[in-house]
Amino acid sequence: MIHPICTQYNSQSFKGLHAKPKDLRNLNTTKNYLLEIPEIKNCADNYEITIKKVQKIVNPAFKRACKLLTLGAATILTTATAIDMGIAAESIWTIGLHMIGAGCAALGLVTLPGAGRNYRNIYTMQGGKNYNNDQLSGSITKEYEIERLSDYYYDNAQVLGKTASKIYNEIERKEKNRFIDILAKYDTEKFNEPEQYISIIKDFGDAFCFNYNIDTEGNSLLTKFFDVIPTNNNLEEYEKVIDILKNTKNINYNQRDSFGITVLEKILNQENSDALDIVSDFDFVATNEIDDVYNNIANPIFKLKAKNLNIIRGK
């Protein structure tokens, strides 16, 4: 299907997608248009995406010279430290100087007229966990080159959709690995204590980690948390976790634990009103197990609230 590119370039702000209006004009697109591509919208909903102009080295000889300069400088810095420690490393220092000399000589780096031809302006798409002070932070992906968009929506959606999926998967992989490293510091026997969940959230940075598995059996931080029974002794910390979850977007509440029990079954079984408020706007797939737990609810007020949940049933 032909999808004409708008001539009015929209500078509307969208939290997860960051690009200068001029760059969007040069790419023949708008933020609204890009967000119509499902993969970009999904990535921008969960993480942060930047689209920007960068300079790419296109002259192979120039690229090799830059590598020589970088390697030479690194060698000198390393050997300077060694010499300072009393290690005889003057010969390595000399090698570093030769590398820099060779790099400069290779292109006449300072004096070569028209050295700008060694570069080409390109546009890239890049993703990250967070966006602060006009730059990505946290888990960051590599930069993916993108071309000026055509007038054909399907072609653009195919190419940019694949790129956005790569960015999403790369961030997700890095975030899961980071979560595993954090989790290793904690006692697996203490997942019945709300304080541990608060500490993990603090270490990770947010509660999105509740989507990630904590063992090889398929239990996640979310399914484990809703096994916790609130008592007088832990109620304050429990409610803190509930409040954090209320303010965290994109938590998947359709998760099941290693026994196949859904999060909603756990909430209904406990007749937990605070937890029910979290999922009041979430869509759940109907199951016989959920129906059975609902039918066994004893508290009539809680049952009335549960009746208003968004339960999707087949035709």
Neighbours of 46 (CB within 10 A): 18
Same domain, 29 and 131: yes
Burial of 103 (0-12, 13-18, 19+ CB in 10 A): buried
Give yes or no for residue 315 having a pLDDT over 80: no
Q: pLDDT tens digit string along 145-176? A: 998 888 878 788 899 999 999 999 999 999 99
Give yes or no for residue 5 having a pLDDT over 50: no
51-78 mean pLDDT: 63
Residue 15: band (very low, low, confident or very high) from pLDDT cuts 50, 70, 90:
confident
Same domain, 108 and 211: no
- Residue 141 belongs to some domain of the structure: yes
- Relative to beta strand 144-146, strand 283-285 is unpaired
Same domain, 127 and 204: no
Same domain, 25 and 113: yes
Give yes or no for residue 98 having a pLDDT over 80: no
Measured CA to CA, the distance from residue 49 to residue 161 in angstroms comes to 13
Answer yes or no: are the C-beta atoms of 262 and 289 closer than 8 Å: yes
Domain count, the chain: 2
Same domain, 148 and 25: yes
Same domain, 23 and 104: yes
**End residue of a domain, out of 109, 140, 168:** 168
Measured CA to CA, the distance from residue 194 to residue 174 in angstroms comes to 26
Answer yes or no: are the C-beta atoms of 148 and 72 closer than 8 Å: no
Give yes or no for residue 8 having a pLDDT over 70: no
- Residue 58 belongs to some domain of the structure: yes
- Domain hosting residue 114, numbered range: 1-168
| pLDDT value of position 222 | 98
- Residue 59 belongs to some domain of the structure: yes
Same domain, 189 and 134: no
Same domain, 142 and 215: no
Q: Between 11 and 221, whose confidence is greater?
A: 221
| pLDDT value of position 194 | 97
- Residue 175 belongs to some domain of the structure: no
Residue 120: band (very low, low, confident or very high) from pLDDT cuts 50, 70, 90:
confident
Measured CA to CA, the distance from residue 222 to residue 251 in angstroms comes to 9
